A and B are shown apart, each in its own frame.
Chain A
Amino acid sequence: MSTQTWTKKDLVGIEHLNREELEIIFRTTSAFKGTLTRNVKKVPALRGKTVVNLFLEPSTRTRVAFEMAAKRLSADVVTITASASSLVKGETLRDTAQNIRALNADLLVLRHSAPGSAAYLARILDIPVINGGDGAHEHPTQALLDCFTMREHLGDLTGKKVTILGDILFSRVARSNIWLLGKLGAKVTVAGPSTLVPDTFTHMGVTVSHNLPEALADADAVMLLRIQHERQTATHFPSLGEYTGMFGLNQARAALLKPEAIIMHPGPINRGVEIDSNLADSSRSVILEQVTNGIATRMAVLYLCSGGGPDLISKQESK
């Protein structure tokens, strides 16, 4: 095991992490994943600490996964949603966060519609801030759990072709995965209609494709993204029906993938829109594994950002 330890206070994005830091997260995730199948699933790593989930945008998977992760680590966890926060009374994000800090929170997880908001709070607060999704910017723990899942199935991702298909423009999941897959040596193709997958994405080191067969050919993994906003149907493509016709993943198109390729989706899925219902339930789909890995990934991130080192992990493993 490398002697390098985690030194960052926060996790606001993948973009500024180096390979070594990523491997620390993956190793820690792996260790925690082992604890999830035990009879007693709790570990005492964050006992006595308080994790506050400040979720200012709707979320099920991410919020619950962070809550479960914090509880598995024996932390106390409080979740605040937009409607239950004083932001609706006109309080600023800075004041809300500083009040949460003053209430003795040890760690804050933020989900917010505004890009850059996690980095903003990370600068203000002296406690760790973890980005649970900031607008269309980044969703680092999602990308980490996605790549963790991919590595379980595909091994080393160097040279592997990963195709991200759908609404790339508005997707923080896509951006975090583009950074992460790039750092892991994968070849990334982003695909979908030209209005949602502008050529500008080539500047992020990926291949842009509007030709679905080409994008899917010989891919090792395909990651589908939900078509997100109702109003996009008015301005970004003609109709959901046309989207499904042009870019939905069906059996015939899935046959273009490598035989052992996996199908991924960060959820929530829209059956019959971006993916055929039976494909979502097929043996190639790892969608629910992603969800499970989401707990171990968030445990790792919460643990590392609150100062946990590799020793405790190995102690837990040897128990």
Chain B
Amino acid sequence: MAYLYANGCLLFSGLRDDFIKHARVIDAKGLVVAPGLVDPHVHFREPGQTHKETIKTGSQAAAAGGFTTVVCMPNTSPPADNAGTIQFIQDAIRRDAIVNVYPTGTITVGMQGEKLAPIGSLKNTGVVAITDDGLCVQNNQIMRRAVEYAAMFDLPVMDHCQDYALTEGAVMNEGVWSLRLGLRGWPAAAEDIIVSRDVTLSTHTGAHIHLQHISSGYAVDIIRRAKSRGVRITAEASPHHISLTDACLAGYDTNFKMNPPLRTEEDRLILIEGLRDGTLDCIATDHAPHTDYEKDCEFDYAPNGIIGLETSLAVSLQTLIPSQGFSLSEVIALLTHKPAALVNLPKGTLSPGRDADVVLFDPEESWTVDPKKLHGKSINCPWNHCNLKGRVHQTLVSGQVVYQKDQS
């Protein structure tokens, strides 16, 4: 199939011979041509933590991973809880980003969970959702008012589901492995309880709540039942939660430390079932860069989070297709139009009139993750030195090539 774009937009008609003669032709033989990938959950650390990542380097990592649209989280320093900070981020995006980057704003002032942020002003400066991601609003009254208020602007509220009383000092999944390793456990119940809370609030308010990085099998069950009743709940799963388990922590490698933590094999398989039947709407990386020296310490003290933009496509393909029987187009859907729909963006599709955001990849090509060759600022990746299958060759944003695989 041939695609044609002009002025950055896709066209499917008017393929006149003279038009084609003057066009730049990209040879995609043997490659999959797909809509540019969409990630509804990344941390680009700007402003305030630009030693970890910037909008520029983060968007370069995105392009290298085949992502043409990303939604960045507001837990910057200071947090994106006011129109001024959002404007600063928008300016940086216009200046530095090589892919489409959309900001989100916080739910509460300073992400303190106590007082609503100026959600209307945030909407006016272009946020596509609000979230206190990294933290979870514990006060149910504040959360209720937040979702009610945000619904007025048709803004989804994204929630990082974690009950703090149950997770004090917790650094990994509570289970056999936390017991063996002597690490403080984070019980899945702490996620399940907040997922239930959010389902309840969405039921009563009609507001759209999006549940971030679901890790618990029981939470999938809660979401499935809510969706069957028509509750406006959506949810995402991360590449690491569908491919890795808490057994990976046996060596105390801090590149396997994130929040929520890696869970059991049973949870992992239930998450995959959730993606298969649509209970979980999409894949999101939770790309969370930290420098090597920040991660190089005692496991208890290491910051939570791993990067994922450059490995997401390969990990998703190799996790879901060979052993789980997903089709290529099902996996692509989870990485493109489905995440775009969550935040009401006209992205992740190759349709006439839409932006020519395209990724070309070879689903069969093996490559080794070389931390020295990653495109972001940080290398806190659990797949460093691993062999992955599925490699991005070229990424285009509005018809412009923003990433071209090294020919070497």
Contact = CB atoms under 8 A, between A and B. Distances in A.
A260 B36 CA distance: 74
A203 B179 contact: yes
Contacts of B184: 136
Nearest to B294: A92
Contacts of A114: 298-301
A116 B176 contact: no
Interface residues of B, number: 17
A114 B296 CA distance: 14
B134 interface: no
Nearest to A136: B182
Contacts of B179: 169, 198, 200-201, 203-204
Interface in A90-125: 92-94, 112-117, 119-120
B175 A94 contact: no
A94 B254 CA distance: 14
B367 interface: no
B146 to A, nearest CB: 30
Contact of B181 (A93, A112, A115): A115
B182 A137 contact: yes
B297 A94 contact: yes
Contacts of A134: 182
A172 interface: yes
Interface string B297-323: 111110000000000000000000000
Contact of A93 (B182, B251, B252, B298): B298
Contacts of B182: 115-116, 134-138, 172, 175
Contact of A116 (B175, B293, B296, B299): B299
A116 B180 contact: no
Interface string A192-227: 000000101101100000000000000000000000
Interface in B19-78: none
A309 B168 CA distance: 46
A285 to B, nearest CB: 28
Interface string A163-207: 000000100100100000000000000000000001011011000
Given A115-B182, A134-B182, A137-B181, A120 B298 contact: yes
B189 to A, nearest CB: 13
Contacts of A119: 251-252
Given A120-B252, A200-B175, A203-B176, A115 B296 contact: no
Q: What band does the interface of chain A fall in when counting residues whose beta carbon is under 8 Å from B? A: 20 to 34
Contacts of B119: none
Nearest to B171: A115
B336 to A, nearest CB: 39
A135 B182 CA distance: 7
Contacts of B251: 119
A198 B293 CA distance: 36
A113 B293 CA distance: 20
B195 interface: no
A134 B296 CA distance: 17
A203 B252 CA distance: 19
Contacts of A137: 181-183
Interface in B262-321: 293, 296-301
Interface in B172-229: 175-176, 179-184
Nearest to A198: B179
B176 A200 contact: yes
Nearest to A15: B180
A116 B251 CA distance: 8
A172 B182 CA distance: 7
Nearest to A92: B297
A135 B171 CA distance: 13
A120 B182 CA distance: 15
B183 A115 contact: yes
A115 B297 contact: no
A41 to B, nearest CB: 35
A104 to B, nearest CB: 24
A175 B183 CA distance: 12
B298 A112 contact: yes
A161 B15 CA distance: 83
A115 B301 CA distance: 10
Name, among B179, B181, B182, B296, the residue most crowded by chain A CB atoms within 10 Å (CB to CB): B182
A14 to B, nearest CB: 12
A112 B299 CA distance: 12
Contact of A92 (B180, B296, B299, B300): B296
A225 to B, nearest CB: 14
Contacts of A198: 179
A116 B297 contact: no
A117 to B, nearest CB: 5
A30 to B, nearest CB: 29
A69 to B, nearest CB: 24
10 closest A-B pairs by CB: A116-B252, A137-B182, A136-B182, A114-B298, A115-B182, A114-B300, A203-B176, A117-B298, A116-B299, A200-B179
Given A112-B298, A114-B299, A114-B300, 11 more contacts: A93-B297, A114-B298, A114-B301, A115-B300, A116-B181, A117-B299, A135-B182, A135-B183, A136-B182, A175-B180, A204-B179
8 contacts: A92-B297, A120-B252, A135-B182, A135-B300, A172-B182, A200-B176, A200-B179, A204-B180
